[in-house]
Structure 1
Amino acid sequence: MTIHTILFTIVFNYLSLLLRCAVKINIINPNTSANMTRQIKQAAQQWAQTTTDIRCVSPDAGTPSVETCQDEAIAAIGVMEQIRAGDHAGADAHIVACFGDPGLDAARELASVPVLGIAQAAFQTAQMLASRFAVITTVPKATTFTRHLLRKYGADAQCAGVWAVNMPVLALEEDTEHTFQTLRTQALICIDKEDVDAVVLGCAGMTDLADRLAQDLGIPVIDGVSVAVGMAEMLVQRRLRTSTRGIYAPVAPKPYSGWSAPLAG
C-alpha cells in the first residue's frame, strides 16, 4: 500500500466520520424580522460544533415581533409551518427561538425530531448554574408570559423575579450600546437588591450581549439560543427523541382545510 493510498484512506474515513456526526439544526425565529434572524444565526454558529449545520429561518408572513397574546397565536402558526419544512429538509432537531416558546407543545406533537424552546432551555440551564436567578425581559407585558412559563417548567422556585427594561423587541437593535447599558443597570439592581447568582436574558434579540454582560457582571448570563443549540446537539448525538406517548403522541390524520391544509399529519 502506497503512502498516497494510506493518506486517501485516512482522509476518506475522517470525512465519513464527520458526515455521520454532523447535526442539522433548524432554528426558527417566529417573527418576521430579517435582522433578528441573522443575529440568531450568528449566535448559534458561534457556539455550535464545527460539524453542526445551522439552518435559521423565519415565517413568510406574520408579526415583526412577538410581544402580545395575539402575536404569540400568529407566531405559533409560522412555527408549525417551519417545523414541517425543517422536517422535510432533514433536520435532526428544531429550536423555537422566541422567549415565549410560541407553539412549542404543538411543534413537539408535529415534529419527528426533538424540539427545544429557548425559554425552557435557559431556565433549566440557570437552575443548574445558580441557586437564585433573575429574568430580564423587554416590555412589562412580557413579564406575565414569562412567569407563566416559569411555573409551567417548574423553575419558579429558583427565580427571584422577572424584570422588564421597557424596551420593545425591535428597539433592542437600534442602539446596541444603549441596550447593553440598560440591561447592565437592571442586572446590577437584581444582584444588589435580590441577591441573584445568575441572569437569564428574556429575549432572543439580546443574545449577542450575553458574553459581554457576563464578563462585566461576573456571574453567569444565560442566552437561550446558545444553550438550546448545545442541548439539541447532545440530544441528537444521544439519539434521544420526543416521546410518542402522552401529550406528544402523533395526531391521528384528519382533513385540514384552507391555509391549514399543509399542516395536516
Structure 2
Amino acid sequence: MTGHVVVINPNSNEAVTEGLRAALARFAWPGGPRIDCVTLAEGPFGIESQLDSDSVALPLARLVRARTDAAAFVIACYSDPGIDACRSVTAAPVFGMQEAGVMTALARGDRFGVIAIAEASIRRHLRYLRRLGVTGRLAGERPLGISVDESARGAGTFDRLVEVGSALKGDGADVILLGCAGLSAHRARLEAALSVPVIDPTQAAVAMALGTLLAAG
C-alpha cells in the first residue's frame, strides 16, 4: 500500500487536531499507511454553525486537490462539511466522519443516539441524516451545550457526556455516537461509564479508509 490517509480537521483549533492524533495512534502499524492529521488553517476556530460549515468547503477542496500523496482522505468534522466538493476533485476515496460513524453505529446496535456539542448543531446534523436515509434508526440527539474548544479540553466535559449519554439511553439508544471530533479523547472512558458501545466517528472513518486500502492490496 502506498500513500497516506490524510485526516483533515476543518477548524483551525490545533487542540482538536492533537486529540485526533492521540485517538488514531493505535491505527498505525509498521509498514502500514501513515495517518497524517492536519489542520485547515483557513477554517474557523470551531465549526458551530451552518455558515462555519459552508465556509470550509472550498478550502477543504483545495487542500484535497493539493495532497496528491494521499491514498484516502477523512473529513474530521461532524456533518461532513465540503464532502461533495472534495470528492469531486480527487480520485482517492473521501470519508466523512458523520457518515462513517452512523454506518458503524448501525452495525453495533438497533437504535443510535448522538451527542452534539450545541443545540444549534442538531438541525444541521438531522438534515444530513435525512440525506443518508437513517432517521428511522435514530433514538435522539441531545446537546452538551459547550463549544468545540471545550469539547477538546473543557474541565467538565466528561461529566456532561455521561449525563447526556445516560439521557439518550433513556430515549432508547443502545449505541452512542460522538457528534464532534473534539470528543475523541473521551470515547473509551464514556463507553465504560455507559455500558453501551460508544462510537468515535473519526476512528470509524479511518477504519473504513484503512479497510478500503487493504482490500485494494
Settle same-fold status: TM greater than 0.5. Answer: yes
Tell whether the 8 Å contact from 1:22 to 1:53 is kept in structure 2 after alignment: no
**2:70 alignment partner, SS class:** coil
Cα 1:227–1:33 shift into 2, 3 Å: same
Higher relative contact order (CA 8 A, sep 6+): 2
Pick one of 22, 25, 28 that aligns with 1:42: 22
Residue number among 78, 82, 94 corresponding to 2:63 in the alignment: 82
Q: Please point out which of 195, 201, 205 is paired with 1:228.
A: 205
**SS in structure 2 of the partner of residue 110 of structure 1:** coil
2:102 pairs, out of 103, 106, 123, with 123
What is the SS of the residue equivalent to 1:92?
strand
**Which of residues 11, 15, 24 in structure 1 aligns to 2:4?**
24
Unpaired runs of 5+ residues, structure 1, are 1-20, 241-265
SS in structure 2 at match of 1:238: helix
CA distance in 2: counterparts of 1:136 and 1:29, whole angstroms: 19
Determine the structure 2 residue equivalent to 1:3.
Answer: none
* Secondary structure of 1:196's aligned partner: coil
- CA–CA separation in structure 2 for the residues paired with 1:210 and 1:155: 23
Deviations 1:159-187 (A, max 9, x none): 111111111111223434x1011011111
- 1:92-107 matched pairs, under 5 angstroms: 92-107=71-86
SS in 2 for 1:95: strand
**Partner Cα distance (1:225, 1:62) in 2:** 18
Equivalenced residues, count: 216
Q: Which residue of 1 aligns with 2:171?
A: 194
The answer on whether the counterparts of 2:11 and 2:41 sit within 8 Å (CA) in structure 1 is no
4+ residue runs over 6 A deviation: none
Q: Which amino acid aligns with 1:147?
A: L
Using the aligned pairs only, state the percent identity: 29
Match of 2:47 in 1: 66
Specify the alignment match of 1:57 in structure 2.
Answer: 38
CA-to-aligned-CA distance 1:224-243 (integer Å, 9 cap, x gap): 11111110011112229xxx
Q: RMSD over aligned Cα, in angstroms?
A: 1.5
TM-score (norm 2): 0.94
Q: Greater CA radius of gyration, 1 or 2?
A: 1
TM-score normalised by length of structure 1? 0.78
Q: CA deviation at 1:52?
A: 2.6
Q: In the superposition, relative to structure 1, how do residues 45 and 22 fare at CA in structure 2: closer, same or farther (>3 Å)? A: farther
